Amino acid sequence: MIRTVESPPPVSAPVLAAYGYCETVTGQQARNFAYGIRLLPTAKRRAMSALYAFSRRVDDIGDGALDGEIKSARLEDTRALLTRVRAGEVEEDDTDPVAVALAHAAKAFPIPLGGLDELIDGVLMDVRGETYETWDDLKTYCRCVAGAIGRLSLGVFGTEPGARGGDRAPEYADTLGLALQLTNILRDVREDAAGGRTYLPADDLAKFGCSAGFDGPQPPEGSDFAGLVHFEVRRARALFAEGYRLLPLLDRRSGACVAAMAGIYRRLLDRIERDPEAVLRGRVSLPGREKAYVAVRGLSGLDTRHVSRLAGRRQL
């Protein structure tokens, strides 16, 4: 069962500084997720920033310019650090602020830290240059790099006591992570291709004549690129619909955080659906004012009430 911890332990000056570092990383680098994280009360916001900063570090190793062997070794160093966090071996005066903040967050909230091992496993798949034959194969990767983040975040949020169906919350959080990751893969298709990576399943690419890959602002000749994008958008929408069942299980501000994160990505998906080739021309993004609007909407509980109504009418 997932507990909500009401009063986290008091925060010492070194831990406060460590959280401050993680919040700066989050504010500067989480161009989309920071809007949701900001809506949380202090202790949860700090814990989410610690999770973000650790995940960012893992991701940056994967995306960096080093060669594969060095990346793998660095990822294993990060795993060793995680083992120290889990064993309670990271002291408050450790020189690594991300480790200090994560260790504190893991004491304050029941965060299933094994999810960070999964994230490292997923980034190692990237480093090995794995490609995916089918959606089931890609799903395994997405569970590691995004489903796990959903389940870790749920450890911070907790579920509302007595919420009906609360035991399914980890499954919904995982599915929401998949929805976000598939959207991210569609958005970054050109950038990933430039970096030599293809995430979309080979059998989908073949079905729409896109096996030649995406190396320019135009779709591969003779392909049905828009058909491919619309097919993946439908898949992502179904994942969003399932993952949104998480919202009524959360307290108001955690629900607002998730609604903001998911809402911003859903709007990215809308834009991609309207103009599929935009993802080949550059990075599709939302203006800051639109992200702020989605965050305010999340806080007003509109999305949560909408999902509850649909569930009540058995339309979800």
The site for ligand FPP (CB under 6 A) is made up of 30-33, 146, 149-150, 153-154, 173, 176-177, 180-181, 184, 246, 258, 261
The answer to whether 3 and 158 are in contact (CB under 8 A) is yes
Q: Closest approach of Cβ 198 to ligand FPP, in Å?
A: 17
SS3 132: coil
For 205-214, the CB contacts below 8 A with 24+ separation are 207/231, 214/189, 214/190, 214/280
Residue 291 sits at φ, ψ, to 5 deg, of -65, -40
Nearer to ligand FPP, 90 or 236 (CB): 236
* CB atoms near residue 219 (< 10 Å): 20
User: How far is 306 from 296, CA to CA, in rounded Å?
Assistant: 15
Give backbone dihedrals phi and psi of 64, rounded to 5 degrees, phi first.
Answer: -70, 180
Task: Provide, rounded to whole angstroms, the least separation between the CB of residue 146 and ligand FPP.
Answer: 4
Tell me whether residue 11 or residue 316 sits nearer to ligand FPP (CB atom).
316
Cβ 154 to ligand FPP shortest distance, Å: 6
Q: Which residue is nearest to ligand FPP (CB)?
A: 150
Could you tell me the CA-to-CA distances from 117 to 70, 144, 153, 229 in Å, in that order?
Answer: 18, 8, 14, 31
Nearer to ligand FPP, 81 or 260 (CB): 260
Query: Which residue, 99 or 258, is less far from ligand FPP as judged by CB?
Result: 258
In angstroms, give the least distance from the CB of 218 to ligand FPP: 24
- CA-based nearest residue to 252, from 292, 308, 291: 308
For the CB of residue 173, give the shortest distance to ligand FPP in the complex, in Å. 4
